[in-house]
Amino acid sequence: MTAATALFLLVNGLTNGAIYALLGLGIVLIYNVTRVINIAQGEFVMLGALTAVGLSTGRAAGGLTLAVLAGAAWALVACLRRRLWAWLWLPVLGGAGLWWLLGALPAWHLPPLLAALVAAVTVAFVGAALYRLTIEPVAGAGEVVFLIITTGLYLGLQGLGLLFWGPGSFSFPSVHAGAIRAGGVRVSYQSLLVLLATLLILVLLWLFFERTLFGKALRAAAMNRAGARLVGISPSRAGIVAFAISAGLSAVAGVLIAPVTYATYDMGLSLGLKGFVGAVVGGLAGYPGAVLGGLAVGVLEAFAAYSTSAYGEAIVYGLIIPILLLRVLVLRRKAAMP
């Protein structure tokens, strides 16, 4: 292996690792705030990528339809909760009306950047709505229940992906075709965009959690749910925001990776699992850990595939067990110390 090859693999690994890092961030954020391990994280990536593809090429904008349905369901549940029987007609008719409107509008051909933004916002909304509809009603249940619920969400969302977009693969235009040469290695503009976007998102998230009141409230809700409620932070609202941010991050990751790997309805599972591996490597607790874990998984995958061709993925997934064992042993030793 020459230095040029190692550099190539490193750049490639970091690009994919950045995507896993975004996913890992989303998983850790949701876990910290709501104690939910989100198996459906990869599906938000798929929804983001395919919605952006649909909006820019005039195909079924399935994400928008899903958002309308989820929003109508959310409003319906809210009316029922508050026993506003007189208002029930609003979500039902409004949802039906918006659905009809989506179908009646001529096919949209948005520029890719706008399509990506709309897709990210739409999927963020869908994520929040799904939290409100599926997790929040059983907010006090154990982590295993949440795991099962999100597994059901993954299956349902993948099925909806197949329904809206069919089994085919779709490409999304790169931000700019072409590449730069750095240190003898060809780095495509798309890779640069992925790395820069991830960095930007990290900075924004850090500012949000450190400098804004709501961000601090989210961290408080993550640290101690009961204590947060006592000081007036609504755990429900915190959960909604956490899911919205996490789903939006995943959608952005989907739009970034779609030009490289082609978007298809079943792209979510392996991405979500690798993001989960990254989060586990980072300890499932801290955000820097999730990011470093994701990057490490990407780089490991690149080098493993170079050495062993088809076993790259197997090595990455096989990493979970030794990492978990290591963590248990380390934690036990720490707990044993005075």
Partner 1 sequence: MIMGLLAAGSLLFGAAYAQDIVIGAAIAQTGPASSLGSGEVDALKLFEQQVNQAGGIMGHNLKIVVLDTASDPSKAVLDVRKLVSENNALAVVCCTTSPESLAVIDTLQRDQVPNISLAASASIVQPASDRHWVFKTPPLDSVMVTREVADMVAQGVGTVGFIGFNDAYGQGGLTELKKAAPEQGVDIVDTESFARTDTNLSSQARKLVNADPDAVLIWAIPPAGNVAQKALQDAGYQGVIYQSYGMTNETFLRLGGASLNGTRLSVLPVIVHDKLPGALPFASVVQDFVGQYQKTYGATPSSFAGHAWDAGLILQAAATKVLASTSPDDTAAFRSALRDAIEGLQGFQAVDGTFNFSPDDHSGLGSTSAVMVTVQDGAYQVVQP
- On whether the CB atoms of residues 47 and 118 are closer than 8 A, the answer is no
In this complex, which beta carbon is closest to partner 1, that of residue 16 or of residue 122? 16
**Quick one: tokens of 103?**
């179908």
Residues found near partner 1 in the complex (CB under 8 A): 2, 5, 8-9, 12, 16, 162, 166-169, 171, 179, 186, 188, 260-262, 264, 266-267, 270, 301-306, 309-310, 312-313
Element (H, E) at 116: helix 112-130
In this complex, which beta carbon is closest to partner 1, that of residue 218 or of residue 267? 267
What's the Cα-to-Cα distance from 139 to each of 126, 145, 222, rounded to whole Å?
A: 18, 10, 14
- On whether the CB atoms of residues 15 and 298 are closer than 8 A, the answer is yes
CB of 88 vs partner 1, minimal distance in Å: 37
CB of 244 vs partner 1, minimal distance in Å: 27
Residue with tokens 């400098």: 211
Tell which phi-psi region holds residue 58, choosing left (phi > 0), alpha (psi between -120 and 50) or beta. Answer: left
What's the Cα-to-Cα distance from 141 to each of 78, 135, 138, rounded to whole Å?
A: 21, 9, 6
In this complex, which beta carbon is closest to partner 1, that of residue 218 or of residue 263? 263
Residue with tokens 């950047």: 113
CB of 303 vs partner 1, minimal distance in Å: 7
In this complex, which beta carbon is closest to partner 1, that of residue 189 or of residue 209? 189
CA–CA separation, 17 and 9 (whole Å): 11
CB of 56 vs partner 1, minimal distance in Å: 15
In this complex, which beta carbon is closest to partner 1, that of residue 136 or of residue 313? 313
CB of 16 vs partner 1, minimal distance in Å: 6
**Quick one: tokens of 171?**
């490409």
In this complex, which beta carbon is closest to partner 1, that of residue 268 or of residue 293? 268
CB of 6 vs partner 1, minimal distance in Å: 10
